[in-house]
Structure 1
């Protein structure tokens, strides 16, 4: 399976490694930048842990004062006169009001977050932006589309052999919202439904608003023509928030459409991840070339024996290109239709490391030297692949 996956990713790899004029190694560049984010997050985590320790100490002092007050009131509530006749008890009561509650005020409003927020603000120029987030979402959707993976398989962190943390309902909802905003309602529906499943697992620990999920899921189903499902999720939204005026109007609207225009209802029970099961030779013949490419990535097709002679190996010098005459490319034909090649031994590990090093500055955020301090500080500019963009 690994060799077939490598073959399917050949086009992407070729863009990076072949000496094609005008092509730059943005793939390696992005990877180098992401590796830097790991070190950055480790440093930010250190600041966050320091903040949490200070907060634990602060809350411990507040809890200690609350315990003292609770114990004193338990004793005083039985017989206040007898309790206060003891000068020690009277002193402690007056002391709590004179010093204790005032000190508690300081503890409650104590700000331990200044150092943490200053650290985050200082490194903010290195943070990925919304464009980077959209690119990460697109990578997941392409993987899901090519291999027809269910969202639950992706959120479970069970893809491949790399250790992956399971996704939370918040992360699933953010991905669903990005797809929803791009108007890809089929994917939005799938990921909103996965968010509902994760919410059931997590219970009340999630910060995702259930009504928001039902609201977006209902609209996605409506845009897909599934009016009964849209009405169903809107009713669930009303169960969660009976005062939601728009949901009340939408239920009536959907029911009216179903009654007057039933031809608009499409009973779609398809789920991504179940498509394409049991592919036949006839169905493969009707596929586009890109659909065949995706199907091939999911597993090798049995090749007719007459194709065996066409799966050959050869050296390629690009019509006697000088740099390839002495060291031609080793090419292996691994599939016939579509034509897929495996290129072997193009770059050494040392050459690839050097390529990544050279590619690094392309996506690196800019710094400017402060004339007063002489130190490098974040600038209001970021180096772009096409231009220099000024942030206002």
Structure 2
């Protein structure tokens, strides 16, 4: 056992130096479940071997205890029998050495060997710390009391929806009397957009709005505006592939216009995309606005992978479907990005498009700015994980197999700063998404330029 303790001490020192970030992807964390199961099996085998060894040692001890009781009661009389004298010599010269070997036998060798193999896949101190911070983030964002979260009593989806509805009805009468113009649009059009969104004093206001929307509060959708939202069959002006099987299109927001496409991905397609992406998942990065270099950031907790268009028929088919539905050229788009969010996984408010101060953000691509975003939801999320837009108070909830679409740029090429959005922390479940960022080049005749800045 002394050897085992020393080995475990060295083992824990070693794993603290290995690569971390298991906590950033639930999909990869599932591997740890099977690693632990294998170690438990190995540990049980070790315990069984130890118990067998102890049983044999106890048998020796009981037998020798009886012999020594007899021999010590009359040592000379006992040794007066030649057979007893011979057996004593034999026991001390041979059998006690066998017992020594039995006691020193390392039945834990198989367990230690397995532990040594598996340790390279273990999480590190950084993972434990990251998971702890994630719990604190969930507690803060969703206003959970310490007792509830420590005992695992977390709200379900109906809780979040109920909060949303309650807030909506409380504000219904007040908002019905206001202008029919969508919230913040007048203010947006009359201000310098870079100044409005980049002022440091606006961060806390945006943070409060972001977290409120994550909780299902503060959604700015009046009945009048809701009446402008419709569901329809979408064939994109009689596109050949959509005439017979049009897409189910649902308005999620009026201005800026955000739509959801139902049955965008089948379960089989989703599983194939996850299968292709999982071995390549790596910590998601963001572009430093000052240097333009991709870097890891604490405000984006997820892992992602990029899938080439032609590496599998499923990826090619999904890309073609995106082009058919949006009517936009995808040859100049970025590769399909697949992301899986970890414990408390989130992506705080950000823009998909590059701003004026980011001159070389997409220079290496040579395809212009990110014109539009297609976000595929590849899993249901029992609680949390909504896509929210703090500027105009929208919250869009994940629904497996659907996709949401919006434009990041006006027809003039100017960025629509209202589209600053965030991925709320995942409270319960594993969130899988994939997205396609469609760029400006190739859209000259598919989405012609407008005549004013906000066309």
Q: TM-score, normalised by structure 2?
A: 0.35
Q: Which has the higher helix share?
A: 1
Of the two, which has the highest radius of gyration?
2
Q: Which has the higher strand share?
A: 2
